[in-house]
Amino acid sequence: MAITTIRDFFRMEAAGGVVLVIAAALAIWVANSPVAPYYQELLDVHLAIQAGALKIDKPLLLWINDGLMAVFFLLVGLEIKREFVRGELSRREQAILPFIAAIGGMLLPALIFTGLNLGAPSYLYGWAIPAATDIAFALTVLALLGSRVPLSLKVFLTAVAVIDDLGAIVIIAIFYTYELSLLSLALAGAALVGLVILNLCNVNKLAPYLILGFILWVCVLKSGVHATLAGVALAMAIPVREPKSGEESLLKRCEHGLHPWVAFGILPLFGFANAGVSFADIGWYKLADTLTLGIALGLFVGKQLGVFGATWLTCRAGIASQPEGASWAQVYGVAIICGIGFTMSLFIGGLAWPHTDYDAEVRLGVILGSVASAFIGAMVLLFAPPNRST
């Protein structure tokens, strides 16, 4: 059953990753075509919702990044909770290797980025951009390689990416929160208490959670904390226990219901809205800019060295075992693929500089680092010798 669940998850993420790749490529094409002005105008269109004194007025780009991405983070939160309660991360011996690998894969990219940008203080806000892994893109690459990649490595990559997402959530909450509204935070806290009460009372209907979840999202949006964190908080309150009637848990039903909408709708829309890099004003100097280099090298160099180095040291120290049936060359190939940071890297880049002229450097660095990681990682896995001892 566990293997079937992993394979179903893998197929969904991989298929969604293909759509995400197409959406990102389309965005780049549109941004460099005669319709580029209309693309930007579309993203700048303001949409407003008002109920009495409460008014939410944002451009379309922020409705995508603050609103729809909250649903993405809800799914991420559900996956994290499931993995830690019932899944691959529920036992210490299973969780220790991907946990240490994920920590290494977050620290080294951040150090490389920071080291390259010590002379540019305004760039340092982006230190967390190369610390992320895009699970949909990464699993797409593994799907294209088929049986050349052992299932244990697919599970390992999924676990690393889940822990990576958890780290990104913590980073966003701590380092990318600005002016706070205490009243909004208090109201958000009250909504969160209500969600916990629903959980403790074994409420297994979705509607009450969605109502309080929407209230929580509005309060968090107005509080100064990034609104997507409301999705994670809601996920933590969704019950993972099976009801007595023998039905699936509410968490599993929500996860299965959200997955296609996120994989084939929200993430491609986010990619289309955020990946549009215009090359019209980008010269060689942009490639040499330390912001671009810090992101690209952080993803391509920092991720592979951090993940592989932490994995190798952990196994050599006897703390954990090497992924079953995988050679060290194959582990290294997967470590390189962890440098595909696309979705979360672009998202954190938007949080680091919400209203600046650094969009081109951020997008260019993310795309260069992610594409290099995908191509080189795939080549290593394509030609890597299997583990002969199995």
Please state, in angstroms and rounded to a whole number, the distance separating the CA atoms of residues 134 and 129. 12
167, 106 contact by CB (below 8 A): yes
| 335 domain residue, yes or no | yes
Secondary structure element (H or E) that encloses residue 49, with its range? strand 46-51
3-state helix, strand, coil in the chain (%, to 5): 75, 5, 25
- Per-residue pLDDT for 299 more than 80? yes
User: For the range 281-288, what are the long-range contacts, defined as Cβ-Cβ under 8 Å and sequence gap of 24 or more?
Assistant: 281/360, 282/360, 282/364, 286/360, 286/361, 286/364, 287/364, 287/368
Task: Write out pLDDT tens, residues 324-370.
Answer: 888 999 999 999 999 998 888 988 888 888 766 788 888 889 989 99
* Cross-strand pairs, 152: none
- Per-residue pLDDT for 245 more than 70? no
188, 230 contact by CB (below 8 A): yes
| 211 domain residue, yes or no | no
CATH of the domain at 166: 1.20.1530.10
Dihedral of CA atoms 274, 278, 283, 289 in degrees, nearest 10, equals -10
**Cα-based distances in Å from 111 to 65, 167, 244, 296:** 27, 16, 49, 13
**Residue 190 confidence (pLDDT):** 95
Task: Write out pLDDT tens, residues 154-180.
Answer: 888 888 888 888 888 888 888 887 777
Q: Measured on CA atoms in the order 231, 237, 243, 249, is the torsion positive or negative?
A: positive
Left (φ > 0), alpha (ψ -120 to 50) or beta: where does 204 sit?
alpha
| 202 domain residue, yes or no | no
**Residue 148 confidence (pLDDT):** 79
- Per-residue pLDDT for 196 more than 90? yes
* Cross-strand pairs, 49: 56
Please state, in angstroms and rounded to a whole number, the distance separating the CA atoms of residues 366 and 335. 17
Domain ranges, residue 84: 8-177+226-383
Please state, in angstroms and rounded to a whole number, the distance separating the CA atoms of residues 138 and 340. 6
Single out the residue of 253, 273, 288, 251 nearest to residue 365, CA to CA: 288
| 190 domain residue, yes or no | no
Please state, in angstroms and rounded to a whole number, the distance separating the CA atoms of residues 77 and 100. 20
Rg (CA), the chain: 21
**Residue 307 confidence (pLDDT):** 96
**Residue 1 confidence (pLDDT):** 44
- Per-residue pLDDT for 377 more than 50? yes
Dihedral of CA atoms 244, 248, 254, 259 in degrees, nearest 10, equals 170
Q: How confident is the model at residue 17 (pLDDT cuts 50, 70, 90)?
A: confident
Candidate from 278-282, 295-299, 300-304 with smallest mean pLDDT: 278-282
| 147 domain residue, yes or no | yes
pTM: 0.80
| 318 domain residue, yes or no | yes
| 212 domain residue, yes or no | no
Q: How confident is the model at residue 7 (pLDDT cuts 50, 70, 90)?
A: low
Single out the residue of 77, 132, 73, 135 nearest to residue 106, CA to CA: 132
| Displacement of CA 309 from its chain's centroid (Å) | 22
Structure tokens belonging to residue 150: 């052992």
Task: Write out pLDDT tens, residues 84-97.
Answer: 887 767 777 778 99
**Residue 234 confidence (pLDDT):** 93
| Displacement of CA 197 from its chain's centroid (Å) | 29
Please state, in angstroms and rounded to a whole number, the distance separating the CA atoms of residues 216 and 194. 10
Above pLDDT 70, what percent of the chain?
A: 93
Q: Considering the chain, what is the average pLDDT of its residues?
A: 85
| 326 domain residue, yes or no | yes
Please state, in angstroms and rounded to a whole number, the distance separating the CA atoms of residues 211 and 195. 10
Task: Write out pLDDT tens, residues 27-75.
Answer: 989 988 999 899 989 988 988 887 777 788 888 888 888 888 889 889 8
**Residue 5 confidence (pLDDT):** 52
Single out the residue of 116, 142, 120 nearest to residue 130, CA to CA: 116
How many domains does the chain contain in total?
1
